[in-house]
Amino acid sequence: MATGKIRYWAAAKEAAGVAEESFEAATLDELMTKITENRAELARVVGRSSFLVDGAPVGLRAHDSVVLGEGVTVEVLPPFAGG
């Protein structure tokens, strides 16, 4: 299991109530499950967001196939107005 930090932007930051937080998770799917537990608004925002893992876009890859390395930074990017 890797440790790292997750950064929230725009609506994700508002829904999370913090700009970033530490985590422990092996995959992006596990991380998404952990951060959205008991956080319905964050779950809603995350469901329509895109993600960067150490600056690389996740794109359409299944979240359970995205393995997180030690010290990784995951960024949650909700849709932004204007494009």
Name the average pLDDT for the chain: 95
Q: Tell me whether residue 59 is in a domain.
A: yes
Domain extent at residue 70: 2-77
Q: How far apart are CA 58 and CA 76, in angstroms?
A: 11
Q: Specify the number of domains making up the chain.
A: 1
The answer to whether 33 and 18 are in contact (CB under 8 A) is no
Q: Tell me whether residue 82 is in a domain.
A: no
Q: Mean pLDDT throughout 1-9? A: 96
52 burial (CB, 10 Å; 0-12 / 13-18 / 19+) is middle
Q: Tell me whether residue 20 is in a domain.
A: yes
CB within 8 Å of 50: residues ≥ 6 apart: 57, 58, 59, 77
What was the pLDDT predicted at 82? Answer: 53
What was the pLDDT predicted at 32? Answer: 97
What was the pLDDT predicted at 80? Answer: 77
Please report, for the domain that includes residue 31, its CATH number. Answer: 3.10.20.30
Interval 10-39: pLDDT, tens: 999 999 999 999 999 999 999 999 999 999
The DSSP result for 25-51, as a single string, is: ESBHHHHHHHHHTT-HHHHHHHTT-EE
Q: Tell me whether residue 83 is in a domain.
A: no
